[in-house]
Structure 1
Amino acid sequence: MNHAEKTEDGRQGGKRGEMIAVCSAKGGVGRTALTVNLAVALTKKNIKVSVLDGNFQFGDIALALDLHPTFTIKDVVEDIESMDPFALSGFLIHHSSGVKVLAAPERPEFADLIKPGVIDRACDLLTAQHDCLIVDTGTGLQEQTLQFIEKADQIFILTTLEMTAIKNTRLMLETLEVLGYREKIQLVINRSTMESVIKASDVSDILGFETSIFVPNEYQLVSQSLNIGIPFVSNHARTDLAKAVFKMAEQLISRREISVFMPKPNTFLQRLFTKHSTAP
């Protein structure tokens, strides 16, 4: 595709939106709260943002934004192959901030309907029409999460100062390094100011990262925000917590331009087995 050509939605130069996968090795570390608040923070900077709830069994994105989905990703399954970006937009829920959401299925058993081809096509359609797609993934390294990680331009790995979170995060990072994703990973230390025998600055060293993003601990504010469905960057924008998320948004905006997405020839499993077979 040359620079004179257009994408399906008419974008010049074959540009696509950036895809960010928000992941964690442990549940309850703040993935959903970060996803919705980062999305809203980006829209305040006039960035077109969509959010895909990739936790297909127990997704909470709609709840965190006080949205009541008419449609979910389950409803696009049958027609996904023939769907274009404009058709998919009819299945998105519009938040008052401007964020558009493709919700998770309403029942856990429906998660099995979301096959790899559906994920692949949905992500491509969403990045075709938006400057940024943020995916809130499931916990750990389940197959669907690995697919999001493979497609993502940047991966946010969240952890906290709890020893169990750090231990599991280290295992997750080691696995992703074997798969060749190290350069895409940004470590986010959430609740970095909480009382702990482990200092936030030590977590970066423990996990082998020279730089990390530190998000302060305001657990009560986050809990209230999730319970009422109003992102804290909207109604508590002057707090240190909101400022940390706005800083993340600024860093994303000032980053590189996103080039045309070129699918990788090998799947993550092929690369994993290749790495192990060639290991001494």
Structure 2
Amino acid sequence: MADMIQIITLCSGKGGVGKTFLAVNLAIALSKKNKDVVLIDGDLQFGDVGMAMDLQPTLTMKDLLDEQDRLDSHNITNYLVEHKSGVYVLSAPERPEYAELIDGEFIKNTLNLLKERFDYIVIDGGHGIDDSAIDFMDVADQILAVTTPEVASLKNTKRLIETIHQLQMNEKLDVLLNRHGLDSLIKAEEIPGMLRADKLHDIPNNNKVAMQSLNLGDPAVISHSKSDLAKKIFKLAQSIVDDQVESKPSKKKHSLISRMFF
């Protein structure tokens, strides 16, 4: 793991594991630590961050791309939308075909500008392995691979992690086990060895709170802040803050104030 974590990318080998829910809530939990946070919807074809936060952005990453030659660390914030929590959001393009226009150079340049204004950049990096997913993992200081205890999810996560090892990004990889406690053929204590995970964070299974949060666009760390689910996400956020070897000067001065066989 990097000494100074600023960019956190959540990825998954399979859809439907709660990655967007966790990205949204982690970003808000970090902001509640008195940090400036921007959340990027990196699921470039079918991003759901806006829905999960009840936002209707007028500008998206496509608009940012169209104006990239004129951008600096100040005016880039014009393309973000502020959530009631104080988290800023850069939305995915509104049409799936625009995804192919977003390349690694644009992603890197955008993040370099955002790093000047924000303490943390949280990226919902989509699921599976494609060029954009790899780009979002490459720029990250920390990669959180989201999985659940279900067999299909673990199978795909194992393949995802093998790819991350092949790309030599495993030193910044942690596993985020969502829905911990869900009935499964796989025992929870078997999962770290199965996935070659040196560090695993578990998030409890509370489907009622998670689904209500997503359906209403009301993040759980706000609407159900005392739930076991929210408490674990706050604990994860605190562990990320605590992992900082030496804190940077605050940016809040400006107004943005065991092997599986398949």
- TM-score, scaled to structure 1: 0.84
1:196 aligns with 2:157: no
- 1:42 and 1:175 map into 2 onto residues whose CA distance is 28
Tell me which residue corresponds to 1:216: 204
Over alpha carbons, which structure has the higher Rg? 1
CA offset at residue 258 of structure 1? 7.3
- Unaligned segments of structure 2, at least 5 residues: 249-262
Could you tell me how far 1:256 is from its partner in structure 2? Answer: 2.3
CA offsets 1:147-172 (integer angstroms, 9 cap, x no match): 11111000000111111111111111
User: Does structure 2 retain, via aligned residues, the 8 Å contact 1:17–1:258?
Assistant: no
Q: How does 1:1-280 map to 2 (within 5 A)?
A: 18-257=6-245
SS in 2 for 1:141: coil
Q: Is the partner of 2:113 in helix, strand or coil? A: helix
The answer as to whether partners of 1:17 and 1:129 remain within 8 angstroms in 2 is: no
Please give the alpha-carbon distance, in whole angstroms, between the structure 2 residues aligned to 1:105 and 1:165.
27
Bigger RCO (CA 8 Å, 6+ sep)? 2
Q: Distance in 2 between matches of 1:148 and 1:259?
A: 24
RMSD: 1.6
1:200-234 superposed Cα distances (whole Å, 9 cap, x missing partner): 22111211224310100011211110111110000
Task: Answer with 55-64 or 112-121: which moved more.
Answer: 112-121
Q: 1:99 to 1:253 in 2, by over 3 A?
A: same
Contact 2:5 2:240 in 1 (8 A): no
In structure 1, stretches of 5+ residues that fail to align are: 1-15, 261-280
CA-CA distance at 1:77 after TM superposition:
1.0
SS of 1:137's equivalent in the other structure is: strand
Are the equivalent residues in 2 in contact too, given 1:189–1:215 (CA < 8 A)? yes
Task: Report the residue type matching 1:209 in the other structure.
Answer: A
How far off is 1:259 after superposition?
Answer: 9.6
Cα separation, 2, equivalents of 1:112 and 1:237: 38
* Aligned-partner SS, 1:191: strand
Distance 2:65 2:246 in 1: 28
Contact 1:159-1:169 at 8 Å conserved across structures: yes
Count of residues paired in the alignment = 245
C-alpha distance in structure 1 between counterparts of 2:15 and 2:116, whole Å:
30
